[in-house]
Homo-oligomer: A and B are copies of this chain.
Amino acid sequence: MNYSRLFIPTLREVPADAVIASHRLMFRAGLLRKLANGLFAYLPLGLRSFRKIEQIVRDEMNAIGALELKPSVVVPAELWKESGRWDSMGESMLRVKNRLNNDFVVSPTAEEVFTTIVRDELSSYRQLPAALYQINTKFRDEIRPRYGVMRGREFTMKDAYSWHTDDESLDDTYQAMGRAYRKIFKRCGLSVIPVKADSGAMGGSGSEEFMVESDVGDNTLILCKSCEYAANVEKASCAPDFTAFTSIEAAKAAAANTPAFEKTDTPNVKTIDELCSFLNMKPQKFIKTLIYRAINVELDLSSAPGCAKLERRKQSQDASQVKGGQAVYPEAFFAVAIRGDLDVNEVKLAAVLKASEVSLASDADVTRLTNAPVGFAGPIGLTGLPLIIEQTVTGMNGAVTGALEKDTHFKNAAYGRDFEAWMIEDVRTVTAGDKCPLCGGELYTKMGNELGHIFKLGYKYTRSMNVTYLDENGKSQMPIMGCYGIGLDRTLASVIEEHHDDAGIIWPVSVAPFHVIIVPIKYDGAVKEAAEKLAAGLNAAGIEVLLDDRNERPGVKFNDADLTGIPYRVVIGDKGLSASTPQIEVKRRGGKESYMIDLDKAASELTEKIKEELKQFI
């Protein structure tokens, strides 16, 4: 294709709001333009790469037997009301009323749509397993869209959903998806970090995120310097740096030698640092106690301390208390006791409580629930709410903790003897320097962006939307579900993040908009003729060629060739052509050296080279 006929408006300047490389380069190389904050238009060059990524995703989905569907993007609110997500999705879901005042949703995801389609057609176990997907427009009304298509409002997602008769079948498809995802990212030339939700635990995982490193990533990743351990900080665990007592009896026995706990005055001490210096101790000897407010708690609290009067809202369609169709406690409070040098991870805590949201309680709530000012909560004598003991505390004997009284702490507190847990859980935030739960190696952190996610959904949607089939014995059963997403735009941007230099993009051949750019020094006479002949020869061999037919100075053409990142640049000039054997110059984008090859053999040599390179991405 001729450069002048393609619409490639390259820019010298960097758009003011473009702070990451992919955003800058997608604009500068003429791949993308902005229509509004978080809304973009792909231009021809960008769309060519986008379509290649789309086709790689489609190929790999088809290869594992997933079937492509195409539901509408705008879907009726009824489906979302049925699943309960009409209320729980919050403001990021774009809601529309049509002329008849009916509610619709501009799809942010499609569990409901696919589940309703399957529900209507599913009758027998013979139809399972089933895996369906779409590659379609999605909309999420991000509060702060930025970084170009890395975090846009409208984007294209491949979202797949599967239904199964049992866990084994779900796991088969889940594993196949995981392999397909690895292949997809490899074919795009991307280094992804697969992050399992519970890699620390034994057995299969129920969730795996595919991350790419990014300084502006949404996620903090915890990685091991010695092994392949990788986890989202929201779920990361670490090797114990404490010795827990094997049982509550062992804790009590060990505490026998510890003096009884006693009050100590700690006037005007506000922070743990001040407390440590006041009492001349390390934070590791302190038991920090935090009060949390949790929303929509699914966990059974019927016998939890202080929860006797809590009402569990029954399943209903209209209330915000519905979470996946389950009855939940709209609001509940919890105390969390944790070793003084550690932080509570609210995402881990929310998972433990099966709550939709967890945050620190207000000062008023803390005062009401602990009968003490903020800063003096402690596990001893705390009866008004359930006490969650972070596992680190189960090894603590002779610790300092708040005494539920102004300016007062307890010394010599001992787990088991002086207080017991309602639950013992791992809710600490893992940080750099902690030890790997797999190999004990040192952990470090990276910021990452999620490109894909595979997830065992369980019965959330089949239960709330009442999907059933008849098993081999004619008995009605509910299928179990998985879901699997990839953001295409973000994948494209991440390819550029990983493959660029100061001069521009360096496309992997698999997703490059063109394989070769031919730059005639002057588009005229013998040079023009040679350029056109070479282009025709390459095109005939299936190589995609961009021929820079513009009447521009060579420097401008070279800059644009570097900026647009076409893998092979071929320069044709009078000098090379007038050699005894006419020659042209070839340069691999991103490579250091250019080299001359014979014009006669150029088409076949380049074709061979590119086809060889493409094979690495299959």
Contact = CB atoms under 8 A, between A and B. Distances in A.
Interface string A105-122: 010000001001100110
Contacts of A73: 73, 137, 139, 154
A36 B41 CA distance: 29
Nearest to A40: B72
Interface string A97-141: 011000010100000010011001100000000101000010101
B154 A72 contact: yes
A75 B7 contact: no
A187 to B, nearest CB: 21
Contacts of A35: 71-72, 75-76, 79, 113, 116
Contacts of A153: 72, 74, 98
Contacts of A113: 35, 41
Interface stretch (A62-70, A306-314, A463-471, A500-508): A62-70
A39 interface: yes
Give the residue among A50, A74, A92, A99 with the most B Cβ atoms within 10 A. Answer: A74
B76 A36 contact: yes
A96 interface: yes
A607 B325 CA distance: 53
Contacts of A588: none
Give the residue among A6, A75, A79 with the most B Cβ atoms within 10 A. Answer: A75
A121 B9 contact: yes
Contacts of A39: 72, 74-76
A124 to B, nearest CB: 12
A7 B71 contact: no
A44 interface: yes
Nearest to A36: B76
A33 interface: yes
Interface in A67-98: 67-76, 78-79, 91-92, 94-96, 98
A592 interface: no
Contacts of A139: 73-74
How many copies of this chain are found per oligomer?
Answer: 2
Interface string A1-14: 00001110100000
A42 interface: yes
A16 interface: no
A380 interface: no
A164 to B, nearest CB: 15
Contact of A70 (B41, B69, B78, B106): B41
Nearest to A71: B41
A487 to B, nearest CB: 15
A44 B69 contact: yes
B120 A33 contact: yes
A45 to B, nearest CB: 10
A96 B99 contact: no
Given A7-B132, A106-B74, A69 B94 contact: no
Contacts of A67: 5-7, 44
Contacts of A618: none
B106 A36 contact: no
Contacts of A106: 74, 96, 106
Nearest to A39: B72
Interface in A8-28: 9
A183 B208 CA distance: 47
Interface of A: 5-7, 9, 33, 35-36, 39-44, 47, 50, 65, 67-76, 78-79, 91-92, 94-96, 98-99, 104, 106, 113, 116-117, 120-121, 130, 132, 137, 139, 141, 143, 153-154
Given A41-B70, A47-B68, A96-B96, 15 more contacts: A6-B67, A7-B69, A7-B132, A39-B72, A39-B76, A40-B72, A41-B113, A44-B67, A50-B70, A73-B139, A74-B94, A74-B106, A74-B139, A94-B98, A98-B141
13 contacts: A33-B117, A33-B121, A35-B75, A36-B75, A41-B71, A43-B117, A72-B154, A73-B73, A74-B154, A91-B99, A92-B99, A95-B96, A96-B96
8 tightest A-B CB contacts, nearest first: A41-B71, A36-B76, A42-B70, A72-B154, A39-B72, A9-B121, A91-B99, A44-B67
